[in-house]
């Protein structure tokens, strides 16, 4: 899956600038943006600040806080640079260009600080967050001047499938994104009064990072792509593609919980993906949740599955909503049985007409 974040960001900024030029003669300072406490001028500055701020956090690989800077838009008495509405548009375009350049030059595995919900985001996440800020606040300004605005559908879809994994797809991406952020209505759905986006979850093991798969990546994986990961030569294995299809189906049904989805196992030393691991859904009412995993054949026999399963189970059993982890293993798959028993699972039963499946449990 080719990384599309930079291109989508450029499309978003272009659509914003085009809308702003239709209202360039209006009173931006004296008009509040719809639904906000900021004036339209302050909102345009906010768009530019978000673009360069996100670029800074990603480029700097910041770990614990936002980069401590902001931008102001001023003019001088000599007219060397201008602070009128047209100048504001130029600032957005410049910040957008810097944002897109950062996205293009940042390695796939790089992450920077963002508070919600897991304290970091990768370049896909930053791309989607920056695009969301551009699209949504351009909408707020357009509404203030009663001017129609609709960005390209694929740009809104990129945002939804990257950082709104729990939002069930609607009839079209743009009205769905407006509904998800409390800016519009969708037939058959209650109005949204509070919302947050969600960057992908990462669980660290010793040699591996378990990187959460977004709906966008899942769609690519189950259709035969790489999901945006750099796989070893014989990956991904079939189980990862099947699990990704299950994730996409849960997303389409509006029941996907990203932390209980699919994770790709990525070697820290070379950023190569070696397998997949995750859950068959969210915990049930008793706190039981089933896990599954696979590895590319070239990555087997090196302890990766045991290491990753240990990290995943520790994370899960630290949660209040998980009491028991379940793993179902083929009777003939001795290697997988060894993985679960080394992790602490205990066989508790059998499944299938001939008992061809062994059931293991690990209780918190």
What mean pLDDT is predicted for residues 71-98?
A: 85
Higher pLDDT, 175 or 352: 175
**Which CATH number is 5-180 given?**
1.20.120.450
Q: Of 267, 147, 127, whose CA–CA distance to 199 is shortest?
A: 127
Tell me: pLDDT of 355 over 90. no
The per-residue pLDDT for range 120-161, each reduced to its tens digit, is: 999 999 999 999 999 999 999 999 999 999 999 999 999 999
Q: What is the CATH T-level fold of the domain 202-318, as seen in this structure?
A: Aminopeptidase (3.40.630)
% of residues, the chain, pLDDT over 90:
95
> Tokens 């410049």 identify what position?
94
Domain limits, CATH 1.20.120.450, in the chain: 5-180
Contact 322, 296 (CB under 8 A): no
Averaged pLDDT, 163-167 = 98
pLDDT at 74 over 90: no
Evaluate if residue 251 carries a pLDDT over 90: yes
In the chain, list all ranges with CATH 3.40.630.30.
Answer: 202-318
pLDDT of the residue at 34: 98
Task: Identify the pLDDT of residue 81.
Answer: 65
Tokens of 278: 């995750």
pLDDT over 90 (residue 240)? yes
- Point out which residues pair with 329 in neighbouring strands: 358
Residue 169: Cβ-neighbour burial (10 angstroms; 0-12, 13-18, 19+): middle
Query: Comparing C-alpha atoms, which of 259, 224, 257, 254 is closest to residue 242?
Result: 224
**Cα pseudo-dihedral 181, 183, 188, 189, rounded to 10:** 30
Which helix (H) or strand (E) is 357 found in, with range? strand 357-363
Which secondary structure element, helix H or strand E, spans residue 5, and what is its range?
helix 5-22
Relative to beta strand 346-351, strand 202-204 is unpaired
The structure tokens 């990546």 sit at 217
pLDDT beyond 80 at 344: yes
| Calpha distance 308→318 (Å, rounded) | 16
Predicted confidence band at 364 (pLDDT cuts at 50, 70, 90)?
confident
User: At what angle are helices 123-144 and 173-180 packed, to 10 degrees?
Assistant: 90
What pLDDT does 332 receive? 95
Query: Token match 């293993």: residue?
Result: 329
The predicted structure's pLDDT at residue 80: 66
Taking 80 as the threshold, does the pLDDT of residue 76 lie above it?
no
The pLDDT value given to residue 113: 97
Burial per residue of 346-363, b for 16 or more beta-carbon CB atoms within 10 angstroms, e otherwise: eeeeeeeeeeeebbbbbe
pLDDT digits (tens, 9 = 90+) for 189-211: 999 999 999 999 999 999 999 99
What mean pLDDT is predicted for residues 76-95?
Answer: 84
Mean pLDDT of 171-184: 98
pLDDT at 78 over 70: no
Instruction: Provide the token pair at 42.
Output: 């302050």
């Amino acid at each position: 899956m080719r990384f599309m974040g930079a291109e989508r960001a450029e499309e978003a900024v272009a659509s914003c600038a085009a809308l702003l030029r239709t209202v360039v003669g209006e009173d931006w300072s004296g008009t509040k943006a719809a639904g906000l406490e900021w004036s339209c001028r302050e909102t345009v500055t906010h768009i530019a600040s978000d673009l360069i701020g996100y670029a800074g956090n990603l480029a700097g690989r910041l770990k614990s806080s936002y980069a401590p800077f902001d931008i102001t838009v001023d003019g001088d008495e000599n007219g060397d640079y201008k602070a009128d509405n047209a100048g504001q548009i130029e600032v957005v375009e410049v910040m957008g260009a810097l944002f897109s350049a950062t996205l293009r030059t940042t390695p796939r595995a790089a992450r920077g600080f963002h508070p919600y919900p897991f304290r970091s985001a990768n370049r896909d996440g930053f791309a989607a967050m920056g695009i969301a800020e551009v699209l949504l606040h351009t909408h707020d300004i357009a509404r203030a001047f009663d001017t129609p605005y609709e960005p390209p559908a694929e740009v809104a879809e990129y945002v939804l499938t990257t950082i709104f994994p729990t939002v069930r797809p609607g009839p079209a991406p743009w009205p769905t994104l407006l509904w998800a952020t409390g800016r519009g209505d969708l037939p058959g759905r209650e109005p949204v009064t509070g919302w947050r986006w969600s960057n992908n979850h990462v669980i660290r093991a010793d040699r591996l990072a378990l990187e959460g798969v977004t709906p966008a990546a899942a769609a690519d994986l189950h259709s035969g792509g790489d999901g945006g990961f750099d796989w070893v030569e014989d990956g991904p294995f079939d189980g990862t593609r099947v699990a990704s299809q299950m994730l996409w189906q849960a997303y389409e049904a509006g029941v996907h919980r990203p932390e209980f989805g699919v994770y790709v196992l990525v070697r820290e030393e070379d950023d190569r993906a070696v397998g997949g691991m995750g859950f068959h859904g969210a915990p049930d009412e008793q706190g039981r949740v089933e896990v599954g995993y696979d590895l590319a054949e070239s990555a087997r026999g090196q302890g990766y599955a045991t290491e990753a399963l240990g990290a995943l189970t520790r994370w899960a059993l630290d949660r209040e909503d998980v009491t028991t982890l379940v793993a179902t293993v083929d009777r003939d798959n001795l290697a997988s049985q060894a993985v679960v028993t080394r992790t602490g699972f205990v066989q508790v039963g059998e499944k299938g007409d001939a008992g061809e499946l062994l059931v293991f449990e690990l209780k918190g």
